[in-house]
Amino acid sequence: MLEISDLAVGFSREGRFARVIHDLSYSVERGETLGIVGESGSGKSVHALALLGLLPQPPGKVLGGRALFEGEDLLALPESRLRDLRGGRIGVVFQDPMTALNPVLTIGRQIAEPLIRHKGLSMRQALDRAAELLDLVGIRDARRRLPQFPHEFSGGMRQRVMIAIAISCEPALLIADEPTTALDVTVQGQILDLMAGLRERLGMTMIWITHDMGVVAGIADTIQVMYAGRIMERGPVEAVFASPRSAYTWGLLQSLPHGAHPPGGRLRQIPGQPPDMFNLPPGDPFAPRNPFATERCFKEAPPLRQVPGSVPGHVVAAWYDLPAALQAAP
């Protein structure tokens, strides 16, 4: 459904230029849910914005790559076509529903608008559909709520409205960037259940960006761990959780609160500082924080490779052998 190859993105700041996405390649199969995790600044949002044609350029710049979505290269499309896809074949949910919703338009209008634009419905038809969608995302009394404004909804309810808008045109692909981060754990759990149900009903493919390993465990088929604009490890969720091969993934899993991985099981810190993209170390960018780093890690960036003996598609970028290093560790 989506095949990204060699995506590179840079930013300029105060007269300097830095690469923040390094030759990112991955693909997502139809019906798959991909969970993308990584600490702040790892490039999760920037890469999604670049795919959607929403990267602020300047200061950002797409330096190269391809992103084939249903056969079209998103990175080469004119803005008009991208606008067509966003909210149409590709649904998007961002973190902060208050800034994403227009405060002066009613909820009904905001849900109706993409239906009119992408599906050619009349206002009346679109409002009928809007009521159905609010109902679908678990907002009661939908008819009565259509004429209300965003500030009349709670945070959790606004996020549901955002999801209703994102799925209104039954997108083939939904990209969600930290859609539940601002919500309390209970509401977050409800939204995740809602998304899992919608995915089943609509047969959606999803990319779910989060800080939260617990969320990934709950919703994703595949996990992709990013650091400093690269993929450090990727694979089926069960395989990666059972036997991580990147010290960074291992650190993220170690930093989970003890025991299960419930939604809201927020990451504690991995020791050391996230990298400064304007002063990246040579070699593996995680090496300075990696207790298992070898000499080679500081010199040469490791390529992503299939993990020997693991399931197909479990890939890691590491020069060291993590299971062996863990066994040897005191």
Residue closer to Mg ion (CB basis): 44 or 230? 44
| Closest CB 46 distance from Mg ion, rounded Å | 8
Kindly state the tokens that stand for 141: 């009394």
| Closest CB 44 distance from ligand ATP, rounded Å | 3
- With binding defined as CB under 6 A, does residue 43 bind ligand ATP? yes
| Closest CB 177 distance from ligand ATP, rounded Å | 7
40 binds, among ligand ATP, Mg ion, none (CB under 5 to 8 A by kind): ligand ATP
Kindly state the tokens that stand for 46: 């920037």
- With binding defined as CB under 6 A, does residue 286 bind ligand ATP? no
171 binds, among ligand ATP, Mg ion, none (CB under 5 to 8 A by kind): none
Q: Which stretch binds ligand ATP (CB under 6 A): 35-43, 145-153, 231-239, 250-258?
A: 35-43
What's the CA gap between 109 and 89, in Å, rounded?
A: 20
Binding mask 33-72 for Mg ion (x = CB under 5 A): -----------xx---------------------------
List 44, 129, 234, 245, residue binding ligand ATP (CB under 6 A): 44
Q: Give strand ranges (E) for the chain.
A: 2-13, 16-28, 33-37, 60-69, 72-73, 90-93, 173-177, 205-210, 222-227, 230-236, 305-306, 315-316
- With binding defined as CB under 6 A, does residue 38 bind ligand ATP? yes
Other beta carbons within 10 angstroms of residue 298's beta carbon come to 15
Give buried/exposed letters for 224-259 (b at 16+ CB in 10 A, else e).
bbbbbbbbbbbbbbebbbebbbbbbbbbbbebbeee
Q: Which stretch binds ligand ATP (CB under 6 A): 24-32, 36-44, 164-172, 320-328?
A: 36-44
Residue type, 215: V
Surface-to-core class of residue 91, CB atoms within 10 Å of its CB (0-12 exposed, 13-18 middle, 19+ buried): buried
- With binding defined as CB under 6 A, does residue 42 bind ligand ATP? yes
Q: Check: CB of residue 92 under 8 Å from CB of residue 86.
A: yes
- With binding defined as CB under 6 A, does residue 11 bind ligand ATP? yes
Number of residues that bind ligand ATP (CB under 6 A): 15
- With binding defined as CB under 6 A, does residue 292 bind ligand ATP? no
Residue closer to Mg ion (CB basis): 45 or 168? 45
- With binding defined as CB under 6 A, does residue 210 bind ligand ATP? no
Other beta carbons within 10 angstroms of residue 89's beta carbon come to 17
Among residue numbers 155 through 184, which ones bind Mg ion (CB under 5 A)? none
Residue with tokens 């995506």: 7
Quick one: CA dihedral 42, 45, 51, 57, positive or negative? negative
236 binds, among ligand ATP, Mg ion, none (CB under 5 to 8 A by kind): none
CA distances from 136 to 2, 11, 163, 165, 218 (A): 27, 40, 10, 11, 21
Other beta carbons within 10 angstroms of residue 23's beta carbon come to 18
| Closest CB 255 distance from ligand ATP, rounded Å | 15
What's the CA gap between 45 and 278, in Å, rounded?
A: 18
List 211, 230, 234, 245, residue binding ligand ATP (CB under 6 A): 211
Residue closer to Mg ion (CB basis): 134 or 270? 270
| Closest CB 99 distance from ligand ATP, rounded Å | 14
Among residue numbers 260 through 279, which ones bind ligand ATP (CB under 6 A)? 277
CA distances from 200 to 21, 31, 213, 221 (A): 32, 9, 22, 13
Going by the DSSP 8-state scheme, the letter that residue 299 receives in this structure is T
The residues of the shown chain that bind Mg ion, judged by CB under 5 A, are 44-45
Q: Which residues bind ligand ATP (CB under 6 A)?
A: 11, 13, 20, 38, 40-46, 56, 59, 211, 277
